[in-house]
Structure 1
């Protein structure tokens, strides 16, 4: 799973929890259950403005157990540590999905290029190779840990080994040279196209 997908998932879960908790507090604080004459289940939290969020019985229910205080301390600590770790990862990204491209003869001058531009450039070269029908490239990481993931669809009859050699000697070598990288880790998934492009629709199956 990519970093952006993980971030969206975390934000979605946190948002749902906060919105749900806020709605419960508002419903009880404005006494909506009584105004709307709505029956709530037993033990439902905060059903009226005068009711505390946690009753005295709920607060003291587990306090006498040996495991209660270690858990009460460990759980918030883990939440705080996890939040700080997530924030540290976000702050240590190299730009908003960008890579650094050195300028030839620029005496140390470099340009910042978005990952999407790099993806488009590599895709445009790969799709021009013989036997390639379609390609999707994703760039992950920053300039110091850049890697590529490519899904390449090959036309029927294309030899996978020859396609990989063409990929490495052509588009990938060009990318390494342009970025000034000795290595560019790349994960390539080869898939076969079911039929040649331009072919008509499959005939209906007769049962």
Structure 2
């Protein structure tokens, strides 16, 4: 699972929890249960404007238990550790920021190319291929940190040929990138999505089409 997918899932879960809590507080604060004549189950939180969000009984239910405060501290420590891990994961780059270009015949000269510029060049060279509608390219570190690999997500138009795209991508943008970087091999991960054709609109009037009568 990619980092962006994990972020979307976490943000979705947090958003759902916050939305549920906000709806409960709003319903209790506006006394909607009584106004709408709804019967809520026993123990339902915040059923009226005079009721606190957390009752005194809930706050002191396990305060005298010996395991309560160690459990609270351990839970808060896990939350802090998980938040710190997530923050460090966002700051960590999944690929190099720059690439050193070969300079044959020019000793002492060192050229660096930004990976974002190379990714944009690959996207420009891919989007002009036949039947390509949209493309996104990222440069990542391979299993060996010194090795570079690229990941491309390409969306084809309806009826596009994935096999033809693979051939054009390998001999076109990917081959050009290998020659420019002076690499014998550039591992590439190509994800192809073919857009489905939209169904034809139904004829106006909603009636069935009449077959022509042959006499």
The TM-score, its normalising length taken from structure 2, stands at 0.57
RMSD, aligned CA: 4.5
Cα deviation, residue 66, structure 1: 3.2
**1:62 and 2:62 correspond:** yes
Once the two structures are superposed, what CA deviation does each residue of 1:85-143 show, in whole Å capped at 9, x if it has no partner?
2122223337xx9953556768535345268636646867xx89xxxxx9x98636479
Query: Any conservation in 2 of the 1:115–1:139 contact (CA below 8 Å)?
Result: no
**1:43 and 2:43 correspond:** yes
Using a 3 Å threshold, how does the CA distance of structure 1 residues 180 and 92 change in structure 2: closer, same or farther? farther
Query: Any conservation in 2 of the 1:62–1:68 contact (CA below 8 Å)?
Result: yes
Match of 1:113 in 2: 116
Q: Distance in 1 between matches of 2:140 and 2:49?
A: 50
Match of 1:82 in 2: 82
Using a 3 Å threshold, how does the CA distance of structure 1 residues 74 and 119 change in structure 2: closer, same or farther? farther
Q: Distance in 2 between matches of 1:115 and 1:45?
A: 55
Match of 2:98 in 1: 100
Match of 2:198 in 1: none
How many residue pairs align between the two structures? 177
Q: Distance in 2 between matches of 1:80 and 1:181?
A: 44
Match of 1:7 in 2: 7
For the residue of structure 1 that corresponds to 2:54, the secondary structure is: coil
Cα deviation, residue 59, structure 1: 1.6
Query: Any conservation in 2 of the 1:100–1:110 contact (CA below 8 Å)?
Result: yes
Using a 3 Å threshold, how does the CA distance of structure 1 residues 49 and 140 change in structure 2: closer, same or farther? farther
Cα deviation, residue 175, structure 1: 3.6
Where in structure 1 are there 5+ consecutive unaligned residues? 129-133, 156-162, 190-207
Match of 1:139 in 2: 138
Larger radius of gyration: 2
Where in structure 2 are there 5+ consecutive unaligned residues? 104-108, 154-160, 192-215
Query: Any conservation in 2 of the 1:103–1:109 contact (CA below 8 Å)?
Result: yes
Once the two structures are superposed, what CA deviation does each residue of 1:71-91 show, in whole Å capped at 9, x if it has no partner?
211222212221222122223
